[in-house]
Amino acid sequence: MGWIKRNLFFLIGGVIALVLLGGAGFYTYTSWQRNNAALDKLNKIYTTLKENNSKKPLPGKDGSNIKLAQEQEQKLREWMNGARNHFNPIAPIPNPANGQLTPQLFGDTLSRTIARLQSEAATAGVSLPPAYSFSFQAEHGAVKFAPGSLKPLSEQVGAVAAISEILFSAHVNGLEGIQRIRVSDDDKAGQQNDYLDELSYSNNLAVLTPYRVTFLAFTPEIAQVLIAFAASPHGTIVRTINVQPASGATTTGGRTSGMSPSAFPPTAGRSGGGALPFLNEQKLRVTMVIEIVKLAPTN
């Protein structure tokens, strides 16, 4: 008892230390158990996730995500089918009902199509290069054609006719030329300025074929051309446009702006009075690269 009395504070401190050590040990043990349990649970989750990721398609609760993917695919197909109304293919020229495209049929139809486009240009007041063949100089008047070339050539004749008719409808001042890609061995002997040094390209949805057209016009006619391509049901895309002044083409009045004299503001405030002169506008040379979109068939 005497020792306890003499070392009372030491004894109390030791008891407290033992209690704290016991508590710390118990806390450490329970924490270790929790950590092991959490690690086991995490390993199970990781193993399950790894197994699920290896399955095709990935499963969901009661197959819900598979069903959702199928619904989304159906909606995408419905949207694509609806969009096809804006990408109707341009009919080839010629386009025989029986599908039998012969050299004689193609040659005769090409000559008639060139003559028709020349007549339409004259009616619309659109100037053309002399005896212009609309990029088909190599084939115009021919009776034999390179093997396998009739189908792609007929598709190009249809596309060139569609592009030309848009320009004629807009009443551009002049068509200087249309260029297309080479699709026939006969094109190697044609005028080089009839062709583009490009190729068609494709993705999973469509094939895109470029054409380049150069024409003379004023700004209202250029606007009409752009509107017509945008509104076309045939999937025509203006990829690039380059506009430069046409050398020595400045004119006054008349067809320069498509506006009548009454469209101009009154002459109030002008010193000396007199009529306000017509707006002077410079004729422009426009070069457009147009892509014709041909959608891939749906499954």
Greatest mean pLDDT among 23-27, 158-162, 195-199, 272-276 lies in 158-162
Whether 22 and 150 share a structural domain: no
Residue 254 has pLDDT above 50, yes or no: no
Whether 101 and 36 share a structural domain: no
Distance CA(198)–CA(181), nearest Å, equals 6
Q: Show which of 84, 102, 134 is a domain's final residue.
A: 84
Choose between 53 and 165: higher pLDDT: 165
Domain that holds residue 15: 2-84
Q: Show which of 32, 49, 84 is a domain's final residue.
A: 84
Question: pLDDT tier at 55 (50, 70, 90 boundaries)?
Answer: low
The whole-number pLDDT of residue 235 equals 82
Whether 182 and 208 share a structural domain: yes
Whether 78 and 98 share a structural domain: no
Q: What is the pLDDT of residues 32-41, one digit of tens each?
A: 555 556 556 6
Distance CA(292)–CA(163), nearest Å, equals 10
Residue 65 in any domain: the answer is yes
Q: Which two tokens stand for residue 151?
A: 């189908």
Q: What is the pLDDT of residues 177-188, one digit of tens each?
A: 999 999 999 998
Closest CA to 153 of 187, 119, 120: 187
Q: Which two tokens stand for residue 241?
A: 């446009």
Residue 271 has pLDDT above 60, yes or no: no
Instruction: Find the helix packing angle between 150-169 and 219-231, rounded to 10°.
Output: 130
Question: pLDDT tier at 261 (50, 70, 90 boundaries)?
Answer: very low
Provide the domain count of the chain: 2
The whole-number pLDDT of residue 264 equals 37
Question: pLDDT tier at 213 (50, 70, 90 boundaries)?
Answer: very high
Residue 185 dihedral angles phi and psi, to the nearest 5°: -65, -25
Q: Show which of 84, 113, 131 is a domain's final residue.
A: 84
Whether 159 and 284 share a structural domain: yes
The radius of gyration computed from the CA coordinates of the chain, to the nearest angstrom, equals 39
Residue 24 has pLDDT above 60, yes or no: no
What's the pTM value of the predicted model, to 2 decimals? 0.64
Helix (H) or strand (E) holding 113: helix 103-124
Whether 237 and 253 share a structural domain: yes
Distance CA(114)–CA(138), nearest Å, equals 13
Residue 266 in any domain: the answer is no
Percentage above 70 pLDDT, the chain: 62
Question: pLDDT tier at 67 (50, 70, 90 boundaries)?
Answer: confident
Whether 155 and 39 share a structural domain: no
Residue 263 in any domain: the answer is no
Lowest mean pLDDT across 16-25, 95-104, 169-178, 276-285: 16-25
Residue 242 in any domain: the answer is yes
Lowest mean pLDDT across 9-18, 191-200, 213-222: 9-18
Residue 35 in any domain: the answer is yes
Whether 55 and 80 share a structural domain: yes
Residue 212 in any domain: the answer is yes
Q: What is the mean pLDDT of the chain?
A: 77
Lowest mean pLDDT across 79-93, 131-145, 195-209, 212-226: 79-93
